[in-house]
């Protein structure tokens, strides 16, 4: 299901799913500092505004925490279980 959503969804959803998968599989560890927002945007080939929307959703769902002036970190505790479709519902199907 995630692969279908990633290929069909907007850029924000693809970033959200990619980072969420990296967190859930342990590729990004609890408390780990993420790359800078500029670097993440470049890695995913998107504008900063697009990345900000994906990060905001990850923060709202409990996957990451952001500290102004410090950086963005993987949350220390795993988020509560969520329905993947509900997580994607916040994104418009338009790019």
Dump pLDDT digits (tens) for 21-74. 999 999 999 999 999 999 999 999 999 999 999 999 999 889 999 999 999 999
| pTM of this structure | 0.74
For the chain, the C-alpha Rg in angstroms (whole number) is 12
Dump pLDDT digits (tens) for 75-84. 998 776 655 6
Domain residue spans of the chain: 2-89
DSSP H or E run through 12: helix 11-24
Looking at domain 2-89, its CATH class is: mainly alpha
- Whose tokens are 């924000």? That residue is 12
Q: Give all strands (DSSP E) within the chain, no chain letters.
A: 64-67, 71-74
d(CA 50, CA 16): 10
């Amino acid at each position: 299901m995630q692969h279908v959503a990633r290929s069909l969804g907007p850029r924000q959803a693809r970033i959200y799913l990619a980072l969420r998968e990296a967190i859930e599989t342990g590729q990004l560890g609890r408390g780990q500092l993420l790359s800078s927002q500029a670097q993440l945007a470049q890695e995913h080939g998107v504008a900063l505004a697009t990345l900000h929307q994906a990060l905001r959703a990850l923060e709202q769902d409990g996957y990451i925490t952001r500290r102004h002036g410090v950086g963005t970190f993987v949350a220390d505790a795993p988020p509560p279980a969520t329905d993947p479709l509900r997580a994607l519902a916040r994104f418009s199907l338009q790019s």
